[in-house]
Amino acid sequence: MTDEAANSRIEQDRQLILDAKARGTGAKVLAYTKLSGPGWLQSAITLGGGSLAGGLYLGILSGYHLMWLQPVAMIMGVIMLSAIGYVALSTKERPFASINTHISPVLGWGWAIATLMANLVWCMPQYALGTAALQQNLAPEMMAGESGKAMAVGLLFVISAVVIWFYDSGGWGIKLFEAILKILVGIVVLCFFGVVAKMSISTNDLDWAKILAGYIPNFSMFANPSPEFSEVLSQAGGYADYWKNLIVGNQQKVMITAAATAVGINMTFLLPYSMRAKGWDKDFRGLAMFDLSTGLFVPFVLATSCVVIAAASQFHAKPAAGLLGEKNAEGQVIQADPGLLGQYHKLLDARIKTEVPASEWNELTSDPSALEQKRAELPLPERKLAAMLVNRDAFQLASSLTPLAGATVSQLVFGLGVVAMAISTIIILMLINGFVFCEMLGVAPRGMYHRIGCFMPALTGMTGAYLWKGEAKAWLAVPTSMFGMVLLPIAYATFFFMMNSPKILGDRMPSGGKRVAWNLAMGISTLLATFGCLWSIKSSDYAAYGFIALGAFIGLAVIVHFARGNANSTPPAADE
C-alpha cells in the first residue's frame, strides 16, 4: 500500500469516527467495532499457554475461590495499556525514543531488552503446549512419538510463519492478519465456553452460587490453602503444616503466573506500535479504550473463567484417579496415568526425605522396593494430599470431561481451543519481537530486519517442546511467567513517568481530577506489579542474584538520571 493510499484510509477511518460521534453512542459503538484491531492483537497474546496454565492450576489448587484474580489483573493491565496508548496517540514520537530522550535511557533500553527476553522465553511454553495438544487431543495416532512431535512443531512453525508474512505485506496484509487473529481468539473463547455450557447441561455438579462468589476478591488465599483441603489436612497429623506450606507455595506461584500472563511486558510494547502501524492519532483515543475493553478484556475473562470452572469442577481437592489403588465398577484396579504417577512418587519422596537422615537417603533411593515400602507406609491422608496436588495437564482435563461433555467436545473442541491459543500467542510474540528488534537497531519496522526479529522467538520457542522434561507441559508456563512478572514493573514504572512528563505530553498531559484518577489507578497497578516481581524473585532458587540484579538496575537508573541532569527539552509536537 502506498503512503498516499494509507493516508487516505486513515482519513476515511477518522471521518467515520467523527461522523459516528455526531450521530450518538450507538453509531459510535458500531464504528469502533468496525475499526477495532490492536485490542484483538493483545487478546491473541494474552490468551496463550500462560493464561491456560494460570486458569488450569488456579482451578486445581483453589477451586472457585480465585475466580476474581485474572479479571482484576486484567483491569490493572488495561489501565496501564490505556496509559501508554494515550501517550502514543498524543505525540508523534515513538515510545522507545521518547522514553530514552525524556525519561531515562536505562528505562527505555530496560523495557526493550526485557520485552525481547520475555518473547524468547515465553514462546517456549506455547510450542510445548501446542505440541502436547496436537499429540494428545487432536491427532494422537498421526503425531505419536518423536517423529510426531517434530511434525507438530513444524506445523506450528509453518502456520505462524505464513501469518507473520502477511503482516509484512502492508495494509492488506495487516487487515488479513487481524482477521485471522480475531478468528483464532473467537475459536479459543467459543471452545472453552462451549465446554462449560455442555457441562452445565450434562450435570448439576457446577455450583453457580460458589462460582459467582469467587469473583469477590479474597486476599487471604495468598497465605492460606483452599477450605476444601481443610478436612484432609486436619487428618495429616504432625505433617499438616508441611502439606499446607506446599499447597500455599504452589498456589502463590500460580497466582503470580495468572497475574503475569494477564498483561505481560511484551504486550506493553505491542500496543503503541500496532496503533502506530494503523496510523492512529489523538482522534482515535476513544477507539483505543473501546478496543482494549472489548477486544482484550471480554474474551480474556470469558475464556480464562471457563478454564478455571472446568478445572475446579474436575480436579480441585480430588485425588487423581488410580494413584490410591481405587477400583472401578467392575472391581478392577484403575491404572494411573504414568506421568501423574511419576509426580505422585516425587511428592511422596520429598515428604519421606524430611524424616530420613541424609546419610540413609541415598541408600534408600538405591533400593526401589524399600522406597516403595516407605511410600506405602505413609498415612492415607498424606497420600491423598499428594494425589490431589499432582500437576494435571490440558490432556487430563479434556479426558476428565469426556463423561460429561462427550469425546468430541472434550477432546477435539478442547484440543482445538488449546492449539488456537498456542498459535495466536506464537504469532504475536513473533510480531512483537520484530518491533523490538527494529527499535533497538533504529530501523523502520518492516522488511528484512523486521522478519529477522520476528523469527527469533520462533526458533527459541521450538526448543520448548524438547527441553521441557516435566510431566505436565502446561506447568512450563508457570516458571516462565514468574520470570515475566519480574520484568513487568519496568514497563509499568516507565508508563507512570511518561503520563506525568510535561516533556513528553506538553499541554496534552491530563490535569485536575483526571490526572489524580490516572495516577491513582496507575500507582495501584505499579505497586501490585512490583509486589509480584519481588515475590517472584523471593520464590526462585536464585533469589540473591535476582535481588542483586534488581538493585543494580535501579542504581544504574538513578546514576544516569542525575548524570544527565534536569536539562530542559522542548515537548514533542502533538498531533494536530
DSSP string, 97-165: HHHHHHT-HHHHHHHHHHHHHHHHHHHHHHHHHHHHHIIIII-TTTT-HHHHHHHHHHHHHHHHHHHHH
Do both 238 and 348 map to the same domain?
Answer: no
Task: Pick the closest to residue 423 from 156, 195, 32 (CA basis).
Answer: 156
Would you say residue 332 lies in a domain?
Answer: no
Would you say residue 326 lies in a domain?
Answer: no
Given this model, what pLDDT does residue 408 score?
66
Region of poorest pLDDT, from 10-19, 203-212, 460-469: 460-469
CA-to-CA separations, 145 to 20, 121, 136, 150, 368, in angstroms, rounded: 56, 25, 11, 9, 28
Do both 266 and 411 map to the same domain?
Answer: yes
Do both 201 and 269 map to the same domain?
Answer: yes
Would you say residue 148 lies in a domain?
Answer: yes
Do both 396 and 368 map to the same domain?
Answer: no
Given this model, what pLDDT does residue 65 score?
92
Given this model, what pLDDT does residue 562 score?
77
Would you say residue 248 lies in a domain?
Answer: yes
Given this model, what pLDDT does residue 243 score?
93
Do both 121 and 268 map to the same domain?
Answer: yes
Instruction: State the alpha helices, DSSP H only, in 203-297.
Output: 208-213, 230-234, 240-262, 265-277, 285-291
Given this model, what pLDDT does residue 468 score?
59
The average pLDDT across 254-262 equals 77
Cα–Cα distance measured from residue 32 to residue 17, given in angstroms and rounded to the nearest whole number: 7
Do both 384 and 513 map to the same domain?
Answer: no
The average pLDDT across 275-293 equals 78
CATH number of the domain to which 64 belongs: 1.10.4160.10
Given this model, what pLDDT does residue 569 score?
47
Cell of 69: 484474580
Do both 380 and 368 map to the same domain?
Answer: yes
Give yes or no for a contact between 66 and 221, defined as CB atoms under 8 angstroms apart: yes
CA gyration radius, the chain: 25
Q: Across the chain, what does the average pLDDT equal? A: 80
Per-range mean pLDDT, top range of 179-183, 540-544, 559-563: 559-563
Would you say residue 284 lies in a domain?
Answer: yes
Given this model, what pLDDT does residue 173 score?
65
25 pLDDT higher than 90: no
Would you say residue 327 lies in a domain?
Answer: no
Do both 373 and 396 map to the same domain?
Answer: no
Do both 439 and 413 map to the same domain?
Answer: yes
Q: What is the pLDDT of residues 117-140, one digit of tens each?
A: 888 888 887 888 788 888 877 777
**How large is the angle between the packed helices 171-202 and 145-167, nearest 10 degrees?**
130
Residues 6+ apart with CB under 8 A from 174: 37, 167, 277, 278
Give yes or no for a contact between 257 and 474, defined as CB atoms under 8 angstroms apart: no
Domain boundary among 347, 366, 389: 389
168 pLDDT higher than 70: no
Do both 68 and 128 map to the same domain?
Answer: yes
Give yes or no for a contact between 335 and 322, defined as CB atoms under 8 angstroms apart: yes
Give yes or no for a contact between 121 and 483, defined as CB atoms under 8 angstroms apart: yes
Region of poorest pLDDT, from 217-226, 331-340, 479-488: 479-488
Q: What is the pLDDT of residues 381-432, one digit of tens each?
A: 999 999 999 888 766 776 766 665 566 666 777 777 778 878 888 888 898 8
End-to-end CA distance of the chain: 24
Cα–Cα distance measured from residue 31 to residue 201, given in angstroms and rounded to the nearest whole number: 37
Cα–Cα distance measured from residue 258 to residue 59, given in angstroms and rounded to the nearest whole number: 11
The whole-model pTM stands at 0.77
Cell of 524: 495501584
Do both 167 and 305 map to the same domain?
Answer: yes
Domain count, the chain: 2
80 pLDDT higher than 60: yes
Which comes out higher in pLDDT, residue 563 or 475? 563
- Domain boundaries, position 377: 338-389
Which comes out higher in pLDDT, residue 279 or 306? 306
The average pLDDT across 95-112 equals 84
Largest CA distance in the chain: 82
Domain boundary among 374, 389, 404: 389
Would you say residue 16 lies in a domain?
Answer: no
Do both 385 and 488 map to the same domain?
Answer: no
Per-range mean pLDDT, top range of 141-150, 200-209, 235-244, 411-420: 235-244
Task: Pick the closest to residue 452 from 159, 161, 46, 114 (CA basis).
Answer: 161
Domain boundary among 389, 422, 448: 389
Q: What is the pLDDT of residues 359-379, one digit of tens each?
A: 788 888 888 888 888 888 899
Would you say residue 101 lies in a domain?
Answer: yes
Cell of 33: 467495532
Which comes out higher in pLDDT, residue 390 or 339? 390
The burial of 117, by beta-carbon neighbours within 10 Å (0-12 exposed, 13-18 middle, 19 or more buried), is given as middle
Cα–Cα distance measured from residue 477 to residue 303, given in angstroms and rounded to the nearest whole number: 17
Cell of 257: 503466573
